[in-house]
Amino acid sequence: MRRSTKFINNIIRLPINSSFRFHPIGYKFQSRPISALYITGDKAKETYATLLPFMNFKSTFEQGHELERSIRHRQMKSNLNKIMKMYANYKEFNEKIKQLEEERDATAKELRQLIKQETNDENIMNTLKEKGISLRNDLKRLKENFYPFEDEFIHMFLDLPNQLHLHCPLGEHERILYQYKEPLTNGKCHLIQTNFVEFIDNTRYYFLDEAAEFDIYCTQAFTQYVLQKGHFTQTANPDFVRCVLLEANATPMHYYHKVMEEPLNNQLNTAFLTGGASFESFLGTVTKLCVYPSFLPLKWVCCGRLYEKVLPMAKDDAQNLYTATQSNAVQTFVATSTAHEAEEQMDSILNLCVDFYRNFNIHFRVTYVPAFQLTSSESLRAQIEIYSPHQKRYICVGRVSNYKDFVSKRILFTGREEKEYNFLHIVGGPILYTTRLTAALLEHEQPFLDQNHLFAMISKDSSADVKKKPINEFKNLFK
């Protein structure tokens, strides 16, 4: 089975001006000069606004203590006090614009009434016309001065992070939720097993024989497992995602490859190659979508390619299957009406993962990662990790994140309950990186399960309630 992404190099390049800067241990704050998520009026002549996110300034700044806590523990360089002062100026600007617009409308209305009268005073009409022209020019100048300030303030506001979940570790270490078996301490590099893998670089590698079959069947088997045991619905997603959706999810722009488009209709809202099994590929489907309660929770799963650029943990780290750009993956997406339901769905997904990964008979664990490793949109992230006996560190082979209603507000994803519209809570993430799992099995010298054994997992009896599985049992210890 050939697995190569070298062809990409001829049609894509790295983004020149990225909105974020990737850091090996986390994501650092940086104001962005240009945004596809929010476009001010002066840019409307050159491009168009694809989406206008919901921004509740008052509610956000009223929770300043929690926001400051989130910024501090994420190790972000954001000056909340400066942003709040800018908000005061922002409101003042808007009030002045509103006053001028009301005064201009009143002048225009008075002028129309005079024109309708049979006897009208030309001096008064000329005076009103001059006043209208003056108000129009004043309003134009005020808006021109306001646009740069508005651009800076809104972008700094959009860079503010999500609030942290109560279960999110605040220190430097992760929190272990579940652990299966003991780690293997010694192992050989998976790349030396050339009968199963031929690795050239991060964009080109080839699986052979049983490894090639496992790469396909494992992805399909896990997808079927989630469909039947978790009662999900399978979807097929696009391989390309627009920049506006990456910004809405606060995804670091270095995560994916930017596509060079000819002709480029929208200079700001460029396309990125993400793969159909990326979390962001779901967002286009639910943008500006309103869901009735009877359809909740939405539980979707997709399998396919995932193109993530994984940076090495250190400068001297060699490229291998753990850092490969392309992988087959299984991606989940769940939307609920409440935060409590979102937590339950996250636990349910993790329990499915635990049941599935046990079949490979190697050590793995489920952890909550510390706050400084989260992206701005994540409130909480759980990772399924397998210990690499060769690299002497844990490798993430799957993850699930809780976004609360942070992303929904940016893409206007709502649920309707009677006459009210509420933003939905989102949970999801890639629960399987097949390439990384394959590498881990090679290092543990474990045989690859064939098609029959993989799909036999689906038919196993799992009548026990998901809510009583290992993840929940661990949490119950702290109640």
Residues 86-131 pLDDT 10s: 999 999 999 999 999 999 999 988 888 887 776 667 888 888 888 8
Over residues 265-275, mean pLDDT? 84
Which pLDDT value is given to residue 213?
Answer: 96
| Structure tokens given for 219 | 């992805």
**3-class DSSP assignment, residue 137:** helix
Q: Whole-angstrom Cα distance, residue 203 to residue 305?
A: 13
Using the predicted structure, report yes or no on whether residue 133 has a pLDDT greater than 50.
yes
208-264: pLDDT as tens digits: 999 999 999 999 999 999 999 999 999 999 999 999 999 999 998 889 999 988 777
Which pLDDT value is given to residue 116?
Answer: 79
| Length, in residues, of the chain | 479
Domain 175-477 falls under CATH 3.30.930.10: yes
Q: Whole-angstrom Cα distance, residue 332 to residue 330?
A: 7
On average, the pLDDT of the chain sits at 86
Over residues 379-403, mean pLDDT? 97
Chain-centroid distance of CA 164 in Å reads: 15
Which pLDDT value is given to residue 51?
Answer: 84
Q: Which of 152-156, 295-299, 348-352, 376-380 has the lowest mean pLDDT?
A: 152-156
CB 269 within 8 A of CB 241: no
Using the predicted structure, report yes or no on whether residue 1 has a pLDDT greater than 50.
no
The CATH number of the domain covering residues in 57-159: 1.10.287.40
Q: Whole-angstrom Cα distance, residue 283 to residue 408?
A: 9
340-360: pLDDT as tens digits: 999 999 999 999 999 999 999
Q: Would you list the domain boundaries of the chain?
A: 57-159, 175-477
Using the predicted structure, report yes or no on whether residue 11 has a pLDDT greater than 50.
no
Q: Which of 189-198, 209-218, 256-265, 378-387 has the lowest mean pLDDT?
A: 256-265
Using the predicted structure, report yes or no on whether residue 23 has a pLDDT greater than 90.
no
Over residues 168-185, mean pLDDT? 94
Which pLDDT value is given to residue 18?
Answer: 34
Q: In the block, which residue shows the tokens 């996250």?
A: 346
